[in-house]
Chains A and B, each alone.
Chain A
């Protein structure tokens, strides 16, 4: 490997560690100009940075905003490289496809958004549908993108029942265990998750990533 390419990979990793989307995007574009295979740019460059910051976060050295910024920089870089991958008929190997949504009648989203960032940074392909989403729309989207996993958020004690409704609907349509469901939100307890037959719950975003990996068999 030429020194120039080696330096590029290093800079790519550093741009993620610094959480600098402008630089990560520039470097992604540069790699295309240099005819570097886009998959290499991702796995030998950017992912190294994501893994580093993830380890630092796990060790309590990096703070959440650093992790989020790294996730954003990664997402921005991958967005540049993805069309190139498509042209080559290649696909980035992902941990799985995840749908995220806040249930109908509920507009709270920060926890869900955070889980989305962490899942993306961990190699999942995340489709975040946003807030106030009815069950049929979520299921429709899950089928459309052939999702492995649905992550359902609810903050209110009166909207958490919508999580159960979605799971019942999936069961009725025999879509489980093909599609797994994880639930979350401030009022969500393990007892609740068990009661509504969800596949799991986590109290925080780090735990949600572990859970998602388990559920797609990649823990």
Chain B
């Protein structure tokens, strides 16, 4: 029996004001100034043609485009504010409507802590299958990213092997961040059409979405642009993710980095709307601060947490859903740092109701997959989900009858009110609440329990199978790309 329930955050009671209306307006104006005067690089023939056709200032040699503010603003107005992400099992469709925070797995790592041996090694296609299967059974995970790179498959079709592997092992929505050229994008659309049943069905219930990374500062990858345009043409949700980093790929100041990243994202989003008005798009971001001493990517720290909350204010301003990087950590193993960075980044991105969170499972700046980390990240998400409900205050929850029955002294353990409400209290899976002596005896902790849970799921969980005919069709499509 597979678990079909998905835990998402909705109807929040907590609020945070991180940017005032004036702040957002200033960032927006700075962004438009950047796009109009500094420009954004679009190294794709197709993209440059689209800009040319609408009268933007295109420098074909440098492939830099400068665009008047009204063109960007008008184009963005075409974007739908809400839509669904389709799942192979329609019960698991996800709403991107501003009232749901959906957690995904993170991606795309190159190494993994082996679930059985505990030894770090290079990732393979089987890892994509295994992680997908565990994510399928885990109610906190609402959708998939391709978690790790299938490095034992041919590079020209790797992105296709990966989405096939996820679809075969899970009924949840698949978002790929690893399809970034036209050939693979076209083939992935063919696969998605087969899975959805028809082109029209795919538009109604997009079982696939694509996420493209920008190339900061103020640039894009040509392959990514072409892939995004192909997705937009098919009504497949597409987002551009900026990972601008203070001090290296962005200004040292946070507001400046927000504006630079915003320019990358909204210029490319506008491009998609100019080409395919009304195409479902989302904003994606995982800004960070470089380490001031060494310049390295940090994937964690207070700036990340602030970016995590600020970006949804921007995507709300543009009235499109957001996919926000969270749970990123520079920790090398599931430890204090991982817990700290995972909790604060996810809390900050959740409290503002980011539509998608990316995501659980990684160590060392999204490079090393850890099943223990994945499971513990899910618990953090559950804790935050609980917190987001806030505190309900009414006659029943004030419990005056129970208070009177117990009186001064005594206890509440034998009260009907207690029995009625005790299951509303959070029950952790991995927080250690045992007596000290128990801990001393076993030496085990959350990390061990978490990996044991992952092992158990992997052994026992049977996801709904994908029709073999569809798998065969997928193979045919993948082969056709490999042959080139």
Interface residues of A (CB under 8 A from B): 57, 60, 63-65, 105, 107-108, 110, 114, 156-159, 161, 186-187, 189, 191-192, 204-206
Contacts and interface: CB of A to CB of B under 8 A. Distances in A.
A64 B155 contact: no
Given A107-B43, A108-B215, A204 B247 contact: no
Closest 5 CB pairs of A and B: A64-B295, A157-B149, A158-B155, A187-B110, A63-B292
B289 to A, nearest CB: 12
A110 B249 contact: yes
Contacts, number: 58
Contacts of A191: 111, 121-122
Given A107-B221, A157-B108, A157-B158, A206 B249 contact: no
A65 B247 contact: yes
Contact of A187 (B222, B292, B367): B367
Contact of A158 (B158, B219, B292): B158
Contact of A161 (B122, B155, B215): B155
Contacts of A114: 295
Contacts of A161: 155
B255 to A, nearest CB: 18
A203 to B, nearest CB: 8
Contacts of A156: 180
Nearest to A113: B248
A107 to B, nearest CB: 6
A15 B270 CA distance: 45
B293 interface: yes
A64 B122 contact: no
Interface string B54-77: 000000000000000000000000
A186 B293 CA distance: 18
Interface string B243-260: 000011100100000000
A186 B297 CA distance: 9
Nearest to B121: A191
A205 B121 CA distance: 24
Given A107-B221, A110-B249, A192-B122, A204 B110 contact: no
B22 interface: no
Contacts of A204: 294, 296
Given A60-B293, A186-B367, A110 B248 contact: yes
A189 B111 contact: yes
B173 to A, nearest CB: 22
Given A64-B291, A189-B110, 10 more contacts: A65-B295, A107-B215, A107-B219, A110-B249, A114-B295, A157-B149, A158-B158, A191-B111, A205-B294, A205-B295
A85 to B, nearest CB: 31
A204 B291 CA distance: 12
Contacts of A105: 223
Nearest to B122: A191
A157 B110 contact: yes
Interface in B65-93: none
Nearest to B158: A158
A64 B245 CA distance: 14
B151 A157 contact: yes
Contacts of A159: 155
Contacts of A192: 110, 122
24 contacts: A63-B292, A63-B293, A64-B291, A64-B292, A64-B293, A64-B295, A65-B247, A107-B215, A107-B222, A108-B215, A110-B248, A114-B295, A157-B108, A157-B110, A157-B155, A157-B158, A157-B178, A158-B178, A186-B367, A187-B110, A189-B122, A191-B111, A204-B296, A205-B295
A186 to B, nearest CB: 7
Interface in B278-317: 290-297
Contacts of B121: 191
Interface string B169-210: 000000000101000000000000000000000000000000
A60 B178 CA distance: 36
The residue among A65, A107, A158 with the most chain B CB atoms within 10 A of its own CB is A158
A190 B156 CA distance: 24
Contacts of A64: 247, 290-295
Contacts of A60: 293
A155 B178 CA distance: 12
Contacts of A205: 294-295
Contacts of A187: 110, 149, 367
Interface in B82-132: 108, 110-111, 121-122
Contacts of B149: 157, 187
A161 B155 CA distance: 8
Given A157-B108, A161-B155, A206 B294 contact: yes
Contacts of B155: 157-159, 161
Nearest to A156: B180
Contacts of B290: 64
A64 B367 CA distance: 23
Nearest to B217: A110
Nearest to A131: B215
A205 B290 CA distance: 14
A161 B156 CA distance: 11
Contacts of B293: 57, 60, 63-64
Contacts of A110: 248-249
Interface string B381-394: 00000000000000
Contacts of B156: 158
Contacts of B223: 105
Contacts of B249: 110
A187 B122 CA distance: 10
A105 B178 CA distance: 14
A139 B252 CA distance: 37
The residue among B43, B121, B149, B159 with the most chain A CB atoms within 10 A of its own CB is B149
A214 B223 CA distance: 37
A65 B248 CA distance: 9
A65 B252 CA distance: 10
Contacts of A107: 43, 215, 219, 221-222
B80 to A, nearest CB: 30
